[in-house]
A and B are shown apart, each in its own frame.
Chain A
Amino acid sequence: NAGVTQTPKFRVLKTGQSMTLLCAQDMNHEYMYWYRQDPGMGLRLIHYSVGEGTTAKGEVPDGYNVSRLKKQNFLLGLESAAPSQTSVYFCASGPGGRPWEQYFGPGTRLTVT
């Protein structure tokens, strides 16, 4: 099993550009999450999904949108990137019975200039 994969690994955007980060998991997990991690800080939840076709806001959702059209995929979109969105983004998935046992992807390092 590949576990949780993220695409791309690195990206540089100019202010105002848009992009989509792709997360895929092959563990048939119900729950999926998007976090951002800034230097010296813990992870902060952006959006999450409790199943295919569902999404919900996390702690810091402004400026991001998500979609979960297929159970195995969770997409994070930035419509108009801002320098404040420079961060490392992690996707995670969790099984329906134990969603707190999250499996994380390797991260995407995004720089917005």
Chain B
Amino acid sequence: GESVGLHLPTLSVQEGDNSIINCAYSNSASDYFIWYKQESGKGPQFIIDIRSNMDKRQGQRVTVLLNKTVKHLSLQIAATQPGDSAVYFCAVSDNFNKFYFGSGTKLNVKP
């Protein structure tokens, strides 16, 4: 199987600062990498994905970086807002049938 871990269970940032959430995975055959956001009491919400043939992908205020050499990916959130407060999960898959999730990083945004 796959082992997926996040580096920090909790991250506190000041409103307006940039946030970086990290994730490590174990299976070098992993091909799909996804970030989800989960607000309290809700199901996870898709943010952005990246394939293994890319090392960077940008969305609206978010950037995902993939380093296959060290099996690490990160989610960067620009100009963090109070509405970004949530738990963030990375998920990986090698065949887009089975997905393995990390344990999550709780992002606290201080006003």
Contacts and interface: CB of A to CB of B under 8 A. Distances in A.
A100 B93 contact: yes
B98 A59 contact: yes
Nearest to A49: B97
Interface residues of B, number: 25
A90 to B, nearest CB: 5
A45 B100 CA distance: 7
A56 B97 contact: yes
B97 A43 contact: no
Interface string A17-51: 00000000000000001010000111111001010
A104 B40 CA distance: 14
Given A42-B4, A42-B104, A100-B49, A90 B99 contact: no
Nearest to B103: A42
A103 interface: yes
